[in-house]
Structure 1
Amino acid sequence: MTDGDTGREEATTDPLPGEVAAVREALVSWYEADHRSFPWRETEEPYEILVSEVMSQQTQLDRVVDAWEDFLDRWPTGAELAAADRADVVAFWSDHSLGYNNRAKYLHEAAQQVREEYDGEFPTTPEELAELMGVGPYTANAVASFAFNNGDAVVDTNVKRVLYRAFEIPDDDSEFERVAAELLPEGQSRVWNNAIMELGGVACGKNPRCDEAGCPWRKWCHAYATGDFTAPDVPTQPEFEGSRRQMRGRVISTLKEYNELGLDELGPRVRVDYAPDGEYGREWLSALLSDLADDGLVTVAERDDTTVARLRS
């Protein structure tokens, strides 16, 4: 039986090499000897790590650094974020081109949950963290791992690519999760999850750099031995310029500056090619505002036969 169109045989036995302890030690030693420096790797504060994880969703890490530092300068603690005006938080998100402004709203709501439901103390387990607004299983596990060393194996696209190439794991989420969990050294989720994601980001990317990056798993890696570096399809980030994400951000930034605008006042400030009856006109802008209203970011009202939009506070 084959795995989809890959031509690989389905795993019927444990695909990991017998020397799992050596595999673990090699990766951790490689990571601890040298790795990319990101400021959130220098903290164990759950609030700071949560901010980094939310910002990093579908955003390149190099772009996140300045935004993360600016955000923490503005709201250094979860309590200060919880007390902030939501419109200010959303406007910050837009001004820093982080995309998907509803993430800013959810982060603000999560900070309020921690204040009101957990007496200001972050929960420590993936299960509890996943109860926070906008925090899915992956983010909850990452925060539990990096803040509390109390997480499960993280499985993101980098990890899937590494496991698929190194140990011929079938392109199946349940198999990736099973093998990732088997590899995770007990009580070491902080260093292990950082290390295996670093391996995927630095040595085993779409264009592998095995020798150049000194990949510690070359001894065991099927792809390295065979030269077959195919990998599961990885969704690509859509272009930001001209995207709906960019236009949503411009709406938020404009309403932050002008407070309240009618469609034909707002439109030209969002798109220079805005024309009331054109492709990017009132109908297009109304749909964009409707999405933002559904996300709880703006309010839209009819006033004197004119549609008026403003940020929701």
Structure 2
Amino acid sequence: MTDAEGVPELPADLDAVRGALVDWYEADHRDFPWRRTEDPYEVLVSEVMSQQTQLDRVVPAWEDFLDEWPTTAALAAADRADVVAFWSDHSLGYNNRAKYLHEAAGQVEDDYDGSFPEDPEGLRELMGVGPYTANAVASFAFDNGDAVVDTNVKRVLYRAFDAPDDDDAFGRIASALMPAGESRVWNNAVMELGGVACGKRPRCDEAGCPWREWCHAYQTGDFTAPDVPEQPSFEGSRRQFRGRIVRLLGEHDEMDLDALGHRIRVDYAPEGDHGREWLRGLVDDLADDGLVESDASGDGVVVSLRR
């Protein structure tokens, strides 16, 4: 279902959706050093560097930059040519970002007495700081931001909640999902989901995606997205559904054939194209491989992992 503006109806139990994601993130996530700081300057440097550079490559550049200019005061006092040379030497993309960062440090020192603004609106006054970067710094340094919406987050929302490919819709859905006053952990978590589990080639089961039970793409097998116009070859394949069967049977001692079907795809219909005959073919393949066994009892079929 969708509302009057075409935004899909979100799961009724949003607390469960939120809790599942935060628990997944806090249990294990990529340990980038800027995730261990709440210093707005250090966060800003990481955000500017990350705009055009892979995160693994940003880490040493970020550490070297802060060794050279550890505070806004140090950066503001530096020769701009030295800052630009550092940027170029570390292959961090357009050099004007280095110039803007140097200028922003001067603004913090001269216009804000060395203290950063703490909300997205105030942060946007800094040179070179656009809406996304302002919101990220407000979120990660001050826990005072709005829901972050970047390419990865759009991909997650499009797949998980069947969101329309529309920036306003993405913003409304992201805002509805984020728990009030928890922008730091939430925005880190949803971006981690997009970077680790829901990439262009998703790794739903391998990464233990916490939204599988609600995810439209996971249920239908259609993993296209705004930045993934063609279905990845693995997604929707028999191999993927075989993996789902094995995972589900690992969580349950045994399952009725139809109950299993409804759990692995939302459009399962016993008499339909993706019904009992289709599912029985998958189960038989897994049985031939020695992975599962099935038992016909009465009018039903019960499937379990082979022990």
TM-score scaled by length of structure 1? 0.71
Contact 1:17 1:220 in 2 (8 A): yes
| Of 109, 116, 130, the match for 2:103 | 109
Aligned pairs for 1:2-151 within 5 A: 12=6, 14-151=8-145
Residue 192 of structure 1: SS of its match in structure 2?
A: helix
- Comparing both chains, which one has the higher relative contact order based on Cα–Cα distances under 8 Å and sequence gaps of 6 or more? 1
The match for 1:175 is 169
Q: What is the one-letter code of the residue matched to 1:41?
A: R
Report what 1:215 is aligned to: 209
The percentage of counterpart residues that share the same residue type is 79
Aligned 8 A contact 2:7 2:164 in 1? no
Structure 2: unaligned runs, 5 residues or longer: 230-307
SS of the aligned residue for 2:184 comes to helix
Please tell me the root mean square deviation across aligned C-alpha atoms, in Å: 1.7
Q: Which amino acid aligns with 2:152?
A: N
Q: Name the residue aligned to 1:166.
A: 160
Question: In structure 2, what is the Cα distance between the partners aligned to 1:10 and 1:176?
Answer: 15
Query: In the alignment, what sits opposite 1:200?
Result: 194
Q: Give yes or no for contact 1:11–1:169 (8 Å, CA) kept in 2.
A: no
* Secondary structure of 1:135 counterpart: coil
1:185 to 2:173 alignment? no
AA aligned to 2:194 is G
Contact 2:3/2:9 (CA < 8 Å) preserved in 1? no
For 2:46 and 2:144, the matched residues in 1 are separated by: 18
- SS where residue 41 of structure 1 aligns? helix
Q: How far is 1:15 from its partner?
A: 2.2
Q: Is this contact kept in 2: 1:107–1:133, CA < 8 A? A: yes
Query: How far apart in 1 are the matches of 2:196 and 2:93?
Result: 25
- Residues 13, 157 of structure 1: alpha-carbon distance in 2 compared, 3 angstrom cutoff: closer
Aligned residues: 228
Rounded to whole Å, the distance in 1 between the matches of 2:14 and 2:64 is 42
**Deviations 1:30-81 (Å, cap 9, x if unpaired)?**
0000000100000000000000000000211001000000000000111100
Q: Distance in 2 between matches of 1:111 and 1:13?
A: 40
CA shift in 2, pair 1:13/1:101, >3 Å: closer
What's the counterpart of residue 226 of structure 2?
A: 232
Equivalent AA in structure 2 for residue 39 of structure 1: P
The answer (yes or no) to whether the contact 1:203–1:210 under 8 Å persists in 2 is yes
Whether contact under 8 Å (1:145, 1:193) holds in the other structure is yes
User: Once the two structures are superposed, what CA deviation does each residue of 1:190-234 show, in whole Å capped at 9, x if it has no partner?
Assistant: 000000000000000000000000000000000000100000027
Bigger Rg, structure 1 or 2: 2
Cα deviation digits, residues 72-118 of structure 1 (max 9, x gap): 00001111000000000000000001110000000000000000100
